[in-house]
Amino acid sequence: MPNQKAKKLNQKELNYSFKLIIKSSMFIFLLIFLSKAITYSYRVIIARFYGPEVYGLFSLGLIIFLWFVVFSSLGLLEGILRFVSFYRGRKDMDKVRFVIRYSFVILIFSSIVSGILLYFLSGLISNYIFHNSGLIVFLKIFSFMIPAYMMLYALLSVMQAFEKIKTHSFISDFLQNLIKLSSFIILIFIGVNINSVVFSYFIGVLGALIIAFLYSKYKLPEIFQSFKIKKKDKIILRKELFSYSWPLIVLGLISNIMPYIDSFVIGFFKDASAVGIYNAAVPIAELILLFPNLFMRLFFPLVTREFSKKNLSIVRELSKQIVKWILIINLPLFVLIIIFPGAFINILFGAEYLGAENSLRFLSIGFLFTSISVVFYSLISMIGKSKIILINTIIISVIDLILNIILVPKYGITGAAFSTMLGQIALTLIFFIQVKYYTSIVPLKRKMLRIFISIIPPALTLYYINRFIPETGSKTLQILYLFLQVLFFGLLYLLIIFLTKSLDKNDIMILNSVKKKIKKEEVVVIKEVKREL
């Protein structure tokens, strides 16, 4: 009886966690969908209005800026997320406040130092590494942004740890990008020219920081309250925080270097135009990470909290279900990108960037593996094995860099994409093995095989039909053909998913809860309409 009661309690808590993730993810999906539309509009305007060279300079400047940001973060953004989530689970608010206060003081100092370094090194980086003085102005303006960017993402980490996922996503995904795009259009209109690109980015970060601070002050007032902690406990907390965070300094650098090693090497061996063309493929391939990032916003705080309570069975089931949902959603998107890479690039960036077609295919394969590895990464972070993550990432990054140096001079941007794909696949496999070894969790279900089987008939059918679609005709007609093919592909995929019984009781429970929520909202709307009449 006690075991049966415990199982019922675990299932109840598991169902609550699933519903919380989906409930948050539905709202976040809408925000991120709008955010992606805004972000792509922002990038597309830069790419189309200024051409591949300026778009390439902006991409290089942003990469270097993010490297300096990660260096100044000292791994404390991840430390805030883990330790605030952990001590909230234990209801120890004094330690929560200490971790937040101490981390913010360190981050303010480190980000100012990092900004000063970037400002004075901008000429050296631009002229001697990328051989393009046009990059200097981008780096100098970015250098002033580092403290604001750091404070913004520190506040966002606190919100995430407090499970304020909707607000976190609204500020980071939607509001920030909306301010960037709006200010960009205004700056172009008043004639600021090329500098409008980086100035608009600065304005977006600053605006989001102000909103994040005001929200935290009025909606999370407990984090600003005083705390009482013994001197001995403070020393222990600092040691724990830095013991967890210091490997993440290097890890953060490597994690940010790894996705951009290809752009960096292209910029070194080729030119800014090649970087611009390649960076038309990167954001399209990153669409595959859209849904995993939705789930991860709440997944990591949830599993960390359950781990602190020693509820490993809940962690195991949550992990398996999230991987399954990622595959169900991502496989059709992956197939579409593989079959229609040119269509994606042409619609978004224009024919000038079609040289990135094969790069997009290789990157999509790599990002499909990465979309699953984010779950493995979270599980290893949950148990505090940050040093293991560091070692993994350093090894793969070195291999990726070597492959890029070998392949980019000969094969250009295609060689860069192929190198990145191999690195992402290898890192995913390593994470999978280590999760199984350290946690005894295998975040895979047998029914996942049915998902792979379900995608094959629609993919083959789409590939066959596409061979008979004429390549000539107006752009509007081509888009219509593409829309009809995608619609047919999606409907056939969903039909086979249900026919193969790929969905289990947890999926059905979630679908029913979503259905009930939609019906409830419909009833509310009908009542409002009747009242108005």
408 domain-assigned: yes
* Residue reference for tokens 């070998």: 406
Question: Would you state the pLDDT for residue 115?
Answer: 93
pLDDT value of position 456: 87
Residue 279: inside a domain, yes or no? yes
Supply the pLDDT for residue 527: 47
pLDDT tens sequence for the chain (533 residues): 445 444 444 555 555 555 555 555 556 667 667 777 787 788 888 887 778 888 888 888 888 898 888 888 877 777 787 777 777 777 777 877 887 888 888 889 999 999 999 999 998 988 888 878 888 888 998 999 999 999 998 888 888 888 787 788 788 878 888 898 888 888 888 876 777 778 888 899 999 999 999 998 888 888 777 777 777 777 877 777 767 766 666 666 666 666 677 888 888 888 778 888 888 888 888 888 877 776 666 666 666 666 666 667 777 777 777 788 888 888 998 998 998 888 888 877 877 888 888 999 999 999 999 888 888 877 887 777 767 877 888 888 888 889 999 999 988 899 999 998 998 899 999 988 888 888 777 777 677 788 888 888 888 888 888 777 666 556 677 677 778 888 888 888 888 888 887 776 666 665 565 555 444 544 443 444 345 44
Number of domains forming the structure of the chain: 1
Closest CA to 246 of 389, 445, 426, 443: 389
418 vs 428: CA distance, rounded Å: 16
User: Is 456 within the bounds of a domain?
Assistant: no
Distance CA 211, CA 219 (A): 12
Inside any domain, residue 380: yes
User: Domain residues for 240?
Assistant: 2-445
The pLDDT assigned to 356 comes to: 86
Q: What pLDDT is stored for residue 9 in this prediction?
A: 44
What lies within 8 Å, CB to CB, of 303 at 6+ separation is 315, 318, 319, 378, 379, 382
| CA pair distance 277, 338, nearest whole angstrom | 18
From CA 199, how far away is CA 212, in angstroms rounded? 20
Compute the distance between CA of residue 533 and CA of residue 529 in angstroms, rounded to an integer.
Answer: 6
**Residue 366 forms part of a structural domain:** yes
Residue 287 to residue 341: CA distance in whole angstroms: 13
Residue 11 covered by a domain: yes
Domain-embedded: residue 491: no
Determine the Cα–Cα distance for residues 235 and 35; give it in Å rounded to an integer: 41
**Which is it for the CA torsion 42, 47, 50, 55, positive or negative?**
positive
The Cα 366–Cα 369 span in angstroms is 5
Is the alpha carbon torsion for 345, 350, 351, 356 positive or negative?
negative
Tell me, yes or no, whether 464 lies in a domain: no
Burial of 6 (0-12, 13-18, 19+ CB in 10 A): exposed
Q: What is the pLDDT of residue 373?
A: 84
Q: Determine the pLDDT at residue 113.
A: 93
CA distance 500 to 102: 53
| Pairwise CA distance, residues 81 & 222, whole Å | 16
What DSSP string runs through 60-79?
A: HHHHHHHHHHHHHHTTHHHH
User: H or E segment at 211?
Assistant: helix 195-219
Amino acid at 422: L
How large is the C-alpha radius of gyration of the chain? 24
Q: Which helix (H) or strand (E) holds 25?
A: helix 2-50
Residue 506: predicted pLDDT = 63
The residue behind tokens 């977006």 is 204
Separation in Å, CA 34 to CA 184, 216, 228, 282, 518: 17, 24, 43, 19, 20
CA distance 447 to 200: 47
Query: What pTM, to 2 d.p., does this model score?
Result: 0.69
Torsion angle in degrees (nearest 10) through CA of 296, 298, 304, 305: -170
